[in-house]
Amino acid sequence: MCCNHTNTSLYFSSIEEISDTIWEQLGCTKEVYFSKKYLSALAENNPQITFAYIVLVDENKLPTAFATLQVVDFFLDSVRNDLELAVRRIKNIGRKLGLIPDKKPFKLLTCGNTFVSGEHGIFIKENQDKKKIVKELAKAILHFVSSNAGLNKEINAFMLKDFIKESLFITDELHDYNYSSFNVEPNMVLELDENWSSFDDYLAAMKTKFRVKAKKALKVSADIKIEEVTTKNIADLLPKMTELYKTVSANAGFNLGDFNLETYKSLKENLGDTYILRAYSIDNKLVGFLSGMINQNALDAHFVGIDYSKNREYAIYQRMLYDYIQIALDNKLSTINFGRTASDIKSSVGAFPQDLTIYLRHKNSIPNRLLSIFLKRIEPTPFHQKHPFKTEKVTLS
């Protein structure tokens, strides 16, 4: 699935093919998402996705940037959010013109992390011309597909995902390569006050209404048994965890692909306490789990599983949000990235939206023009931002 190297790009079909020298020269492994241990865990346990990697090099053949690619099967009929109308129109026109497969999945080449929100697909070394790097990456992705007959026949579209507002002056260079951009559901971010040393400090900073709500959720969830998921007990818990995860993912309006929870075994083995898994049980029955990762000074919330029949009575999801906050405080972290979805309840615990932009390009020119027209109309689902703190310092956008 890979192609020959060029003067500016090196292509790899597995993490193991990348030499230790390249990793050292890149200096990217402080970011867990760009570490061999994390990336190998994803690739080894998700065979439904084709993984590939690009290393950009300068005229001296020294690495300047690293990008992760995934080829995913995206089922157009599964979209159930603001993209739905645009996708439906593009799909109908494209199928009439014979440009979009009728029953086959839409093959999407993604640069980014399929399973996590945020800028976790491209690493650029310090002191590089970032606009130039983005242009080189766009060319490298095109070369990767066009030089491989099988890929060139299969791939329908290219996507570079999840750039924050501060990056757009760089990534908007992609418009010159026929990419269209649009905003997706925001990443909900909680900035922890440096004066909070305990969860009680967090509660004390809240307005009465939200503090009462939090204490009520903690009270009704008191009967939930919470335990750490480890390499020793994960095998017993995974079947029910998978069931609960699928219940949640089935309600999502936009999924690039299902996550194989067997990945958690490798993540715990490879990353230890850096990767967090907790199981939630009532009367010895699993009713939920949370997952997340400590990445430098941030806690990133990953997938959760919930038994919705018990959620309202025991405030399972709300308890999970407070537990993420407790974990971050215990580890003296400064930020929690709660990710997309459920923006209302996340804002009620203090999170603010961080806009994310996706760049999308169809391989063929006619559907790409149609795509650009409809994507201009796409806006994230509006929600009511809550303001739970007495003193508010952080407002992201």
In tens, the pLDDT along 152-198 reads 888 989 999 999 999 999 999 999 999 999 998 899 999 999 999 99
Tokens read off for 334: 């400064």
For residues 141 and 135, give the distance between their C-alpha atoms in angstroms, rounded to a whole number.
Answer: 10
Residue 368 reports pLDDT greater than 90: no
> What is the CATH T-level fold of the domain 189-354, as seen in this structure?
Aminopeptidase (3.40.630)
Whether domain 9-186+355-375 has CATH 3.40.50.720:
no
Which of 38-42, 151-155, 199-203 bottoms out in mean pLDDT, i.e. has the lowest?
Answer: 151-155
pLDDT band at residue 262, thresholds of 50, 70 and 90? very high
pTM, to two decimals = 0.92
pLDDT at 372: 84
Query: Which segments of 351-393 are extended strands (E)?
Result: 352-362
Q: What is the DSSP letter of 33?
A: G
Which of 219-223, 264-268, 362-366 bottoms out in mean pLDDT, i.e. has the lowest?
Answer: 362-366
Which of 40-54, 267-281, 354-368 bottoms out in mean pLDDT, i.e. has the lowest?
Answer: 354-368
pLDDT at 91: 58
Mean of pLDDT values over 18-27: 95
Tokens read off for 384: 């009511």
pLDDT at 81: 46
In tens, the pLDDT along 126-142 reads 999 999 999 999 999 99
Query: Is 9-186+355-375's fold the same as 189-354's?
Result: yes
Mean of pLDDT values over 108-124: 94
Domain positions in the chain: 9-186+355-375, 189-354
pLDDT at 252: 66
Helices (H), the chain: 20-26, 36-45, 83-96, 130-146, 149-154, 168-171, 199-204, 208-220, 234-249, 263-271, 308-314, 316-330, 343-348, 365-375
Residue 82 reports pLDDT greater than 70: no
pLDDT band at residue 382, thresholds of 50, 70 and 90? confident
Which of 95-99, 347-351, 374-378 bottoms out in mean pLDDT, i.e. has the lowest?
Answer: 95-99
